[in-house]
C-alpha cells in the first residue's frame, strides 16, 4: 500500500465482520488511526480493522461522492461491487 494516496474512498472489514467505509487523503495513516482506537466511533469497538478495498480519486468531491453512494448499498451489493474489482472473499466470514 502506498503511503500517501490522495482522495481515497476506503472500505475496512471490522473484527465483527461488518464493513466501514470512509474518506481520507492519507490511507495508511488513517488505518493506523482506526486501529489505535482513535478513528471513527463505529470502528472503536470493532477492532482490529483491515483495509479490504480502496479507490483513488482526483478530487475530494469525487471520493466523498463515491463514499456516499457505497454506503447506500446493501451488504450484498457492496460485496458484489468489490468482487467485480478483484477483491477476494473468504466465504465463511465475509458473506
pTM of this structure: 0.88
- pLDDT tens readout for residues 27-37: 999 999 999 99
Grid cell, residue 45, equals: 469497538
3-class SS of residue 58: coil
Percent of the chain at pLDDT exceeding 90: 85
pLDDT value at residue 95: 58
Cβ proximity of 11 and 51 under 8 Å: yes
The 10s digit of each residue's pLDDT in 64-94 is: 999 999 999 999 999 999 999 999 987 655 5
What's the Cα-to-Cα distance from 16 to each of 49, 61, 78, 81, rounded to whole Å? 9, 30, 16, 21
pLDDT band at 6 (very low <50, low <70, confident <90, very high): confident
Beta strand 50-56 pairing with 8-13: antiparallel
Amino acid at each position: 500500500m502506498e503511503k500517501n494516496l490522495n482522495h481515497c474512498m476506503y472500505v475496512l472489514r471490522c473484527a465483527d465482520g461488518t464493513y466501514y467505509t470512509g474518506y481520507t487523503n492519507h490511507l495508511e495513516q488513517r488505518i493506523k488511526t482506526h486501529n489505535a482506537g482513535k478513528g471513527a466511533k463505529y470502528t472503536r469497538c470493532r477492532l482490529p480493522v483491515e483495509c479490504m478495498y480502496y479507490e483513488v480519486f482526483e478530487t475530494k468531491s469525487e471520493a466523498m461522492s463515491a463514499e456516499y453512494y457505497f454506503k447506500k448499498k446493501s451488504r450484498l451489493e457492496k460485496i458484489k461491487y468489490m468482487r467485480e474489482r478483484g477483491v477476494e472473499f473468504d466465504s465463511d466470514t465475509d458473506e
